[in-house]
Structure 1
């Protein structure tokens, strides 16, 4: 159960008054402009079906109040339909969570899947069945649902997303066992796919990265209103943890995904820090995330 909900004894007193909901509040957008077809209704039906499974499936046994549902987005750009019912797409997966005492939403996961290929039959509902492979599209959606939940849980409690991330990995194994693996499900030359994303997150060598997720969010951003200097110190410690992971395993998808989600936020968070914190942040960030160096340069000029 998510730590935010409170202790069981108190919860039980209010149970009749509370409304429980599924874990995700997912916005789904299917862009089909690149595909030439006569009847475009199939893409609206596809969008509705994907939204239905993402938002109306109970993925875990955890209790979520309606306002606690994890905000996420799937932007699916269909690139082609080589044959009837088979689609090739790029998909961006984004999830966020609120920060304590503010109206600010921080991005937890930002990942682009360039190998999002699937079969879809119009008017056929998508249903998730645990430990069962039903279709590549259902597998893709359930994989990302559990990845989103796992990373969100990690941000609220240290290593709290272990069960959900293990389920994402189980889905990956089911796809491969069913002989249905396509690009993105295997450890091929593409190291920025879903196989490597979940592999990184469950690898013991990446435990510091997952611990940093908690330190950065729960003891960093969530503390910013109450004690900004301490919050930034904890965020710096989170960056040091990520630095150690990056030194052991350079260029990994999980580390890159973190900075794709956080680079602008980090630059803004340290913009009003003490000179010493700015210097530490700049040195850490430019070392572990050189791609976004231009975003961090102003830290030395303020």
Structure 2
């Protein structure tokens, strides 16, 4: 009986390990906060790590080598009280490119306005049905954004269920006193990030994410020219979104992740394709114009 119980526990343990989707490196930095108990920041880092990495964010089974690699850097700049903090959060996520050793960046975003409460050794509990705390709301929001982008890169609008969960978190935080959740506070915060992702006007951006990754990058190891051509065509979808609503937040998010990669991809292309890519990129992302000029060199 004991052997049977032990076997059941082992099987459940293995299943649980496989179901966790994120492999996230967590770093909490507090150099700007002087004269305080540094132990709270170490326990915070551990709590955030366990919350992100030990929780199942989908109903799907992930093997260890399928986990989504990401980094979250929490840079605390102010301690309002013993359990209240302000700062910034840098979120990066990437996914492997099929049949290669290359990882492509899906998200590279800095949230400049995080504000939350955390008490030393506090357990970070989370239930989708309840209103989250200021910290678990932040973490669950970005976990769902990361998972959603990963799914979007493998299937057309495949990330919708997870983006919907992120939107639900934003809705629950509308009465929160902490910033970043409301439309009137900024045009580049959590509210507008998920609003843009789910806005029908920007559906071409999500189609681009799918075609760029699944039909473009994932094919380049076997059919370099065809894969690169698909990426070039996917840029037209971004141009369509840009013409509908110039200067959108979601396009900024895309190019913060992809500008350098696009330069590398098209630098090796033939002249006509280089020119087409450059013309589109310089039109819709003038902030990175100096980078894109390298495509034509």
Say whether the fold is shared (TM-score over 0.5): yes
How far off is 1:38 after superposition? 3.1
- What is the alpha-carbon distance in structure 2 between the residues aligned to residue 181 and residue 169 of structure 1? 18
On the 8 A contact 1:78/1:90 being kept in 2, the answer is yes
- What is the alpha-carbon distance in structure 2 between the residues aligned to residue 245 and residue 192 of structure 1? 17
Ranges in structure 1 where 5+ consecutive residues have no aligned partner: 1-15
Q: TM-score, normalised by structure 2?
A: 0.93
SS of match in other structure, 1:64:
coil
Q: Which residue of 2 aligns with 1:164?
A: 162
Q: Which residue of 2 aligns with 1:262?
A: 258
2:140 aligns with one of 139, 142, 146:
142
- What is the alpha-carbon distance in structure 2 between the residues aligned to residue 62 and residue 148 of structure 1? 15
Q: Which residue of 1 aligns with 2:8?
A: none
- What is the alpha-carbon distance in structure 2 between the residues aligned to residue 255 and residue 128 of structure 1? 31
Structure 1 residues 17, 141: closer, same or farther in 2, change over 3 A?
A: closer
* Count of residues paired in the alignment: 284
Q: Which residue of 2 aligns with 1:293?
A: 289
How far off is 1:26 after superposition? 0.6
How far off is 1:17 after superposition? 10
How far off is 1:182 after superposition? 2.2
Superposition CA RMSD, Å? 1.5
Structure 1 residues 18, 32: closer, same or farther in 2, change over 3 A?
A: closer
Q: Which residue of 1 aligns with 2:235?
A: 239
- The runs of 4+ residues in structure 1 deviating greater than 4 Å are 16-19
SS of match in other structure, 1:77:
strand
Structure 1 residues 112, 18: closer, same or farther in 2, change over 3 A?
A: closer
On the 8 A contact 1:128/1:138 being kept in 2, the answer is yes
How far off is 1:59 after superposition? 1.3
Structure 1 residues 17, 255: closer, same or farther in 2, change over 3 A?
A: closer
Report whether the alignment pairs 1:40 with 2:38: yes
Ranges in structure 2 where 5+ consecutive residues have no aligned partner: 1-13
On the 8 A contact 1:91/1:113 being kept in 2, the answer is yes
Deviation by residue 1:14-51 (Cα, 9 ceiling, x = unmatched): xx999623011011011100001332111011000000
Q: Which residue of 2 aligns with 1:91?
A: 89
- What is the alpha-carbon distance in structure 2 between the residues aligned to residue 295 and residue 173 of structure 1? 38
SS of match in other structure, 2:215:
coil
- What is the alpha-carbon distance in structure 2 between the residues aligned to residue 285 and residue 241 of structure 1? 12
SS of match in other structure, 2:142:
helix
Structure 1 residues 87, 260: closer, same or farther in 2, change over 3 A?
A: same
Q: TM-score, normalised by structure 1?
A: 0.91
